[in-house]
Chain A
């Protein structure tokens, strides 16, 4: 198929970016979206132009590196997958495709389609852990039974891949879904109770400091999340936060 790509090009964080048109032909439906970009880059290199820079690594939907806004949607038109799992058969001959980076103040562009998501790391560093040293002498793993329902919900929250689609989908560029997924994982487990108060306060505080917006419950994050992280996590984090604030 023949396509027209409209791609965001930006030299670095300081420069002004712009949309550049690239016609491309000979694209097959079996190609993944990123393989289509590989073809484009190979052509650009042959022509002596600089290839389009984008983040990607595992190309099987789990590392969370890929982060493209395709025709205005994070990770493109299909549900519950990342860009690297999107295939060209989802498009048709003659289509025009807009490809942009995830947009948020807290995610500055590094180059072209590549963004800086270190704000997410700093939110995790603020409290996204359980303070246990490696010793080999912690209690036996089966010493504390955990209700299956809670364990399964904790797992579901923990499957977040930290891609940032929730932020890109949100009109407020809020990181509530991302932050609440980690808060929820630990809130649902007995191991997480000891530090629960400090954790939620510190993580929410860091989230605000990074410049993410507030949550107005539109739910776009849940729709666009490639891992289907549930809005219930935000509700749970709000409860945890209120509880912690009253305590504190």
Chain B
């Protein structure tokens, strides 16, 4: 059965005030269009979880959507910091819960696997373990040294962007996989956004690439350029210029408001954003072609 719907409808139906949201994607496939739609709908008091909050959560914090962040690296890599997140933590207006990358994705892995917690080896660095009471230690029942454990994370809703999916939500992903699959399996509801909606035959032509199956997906949205200014492998490059510009934009309240007014509140949806972005930027970000060699699954 088709789960195709508009992104605004999917957000309206599946993201509610106070929800724990996991917008997935490590540098790659970050669903900015969904973040912007959440801002437009004025959804509040969210707990925003991501390994790297990135610009998407800095914008959502700036727009007043969040009461808490859960993260493992809160910088704008190679550029600077995420100002609104950092200021919120420093002035006490934003709650936070912090892990290392491995701790963060281990929480998702436990959630995705139906386990209560995930063990990890000790690291010798105790300060974060002491600061975050959800880090615990458990005795190895087989006689080894104690392991560090983190509890399963079950987001109320995960938002996962992919290259292509069929209308039921069976999705192909390639390039950096981050925590896309774990987030989808760990969450209670999943909004899938895709660059392309394809026939089920295309999905079935390459089943090893289907990392997210329809059975965990709640809604499917066709959203070309959903990830801009992050990227979608093979479709468009990361807009590194914008990541640099955000450092300037985010510096004061007026310029953030101007940005949100123009690029979020000022457009109806991603299609309008894309039109506003313009052909020149789209051309600049278009990658060359590099095809993989086809494989023979065999006909049996």
A binds B: no
User: Which A residues form the contact surface with B (CB < 8 A)?
Assistant: none
